[in-house]
Amino acid sequence: MSDTAEIKANPMETRSALPPEETERLTTEIIAGLKTVFDPEIPADIYELGLIYKVEIKDDRSVDVQMTLTTPNCPAAGELPTMVENAVASVPGVGVVDVKVVWEPPWTPERMSDEARLVLNMW
């Protein structure tokens, strides 16, 4: 499996001494939060678009997020990382959130979920 497929299949990475039920709750609620963030020009959420590459929940409840954008010239480049930070930080029990925009691997439409493809009519 390629790194890209692996990231798309499981962007959540938990390396935490927190109890498993707590990391499961945080994971579920973080994903739900990420699904509330939409690129203003695309009617699909950033999680289903495949823009979230990695989420790491740490022992101190801080969360590191690696995300990308559909293009380096994305008009929402200035606001999307802040929207992601706010969505993750709104989850009860989450500490400091650090969002980094990365460009490797580059985003391609293949990263989108079937749900996003359906919304965007990209079959």
Q: What is the pLDDT of residues 22-66, one digit of tens each?
A: 999 999 999 999 999 998 888 899 999 999 999 999 999 999 999
Amino acid at 61: R
Q: Which residues make Cβ contacts (< 8 Å) with residue 86, sequence separation at least 6?
A: none
Residue 1 falls within a domain, yes or no?
no
For residue 5, is pLDDT > 50?
A: no
For the question of whether the overall pTM of this predicted structure is more than 0.85, the answer is: no
- Structural domain for 93, as ranges: 20-114
- Any idea what the Cα angle at residue 100 is, between residues 119 and 52, rounded to 5°? 25
Residue 35 falls within a domain, yes or no?
yes
pLDDT of 7 reads 43
Total domains in the fold of the chain: 1
Binned at pLDDT 50, 70 and 90, residue 4 comes out as very low
Question: Can you tell me whether residue 12 is helix, strand or coil?
Answer: strand
pLDDT of 123 reads 62
pLDDT of 39 reads 84
Residue 2 falls within a domain, yes or no?
no
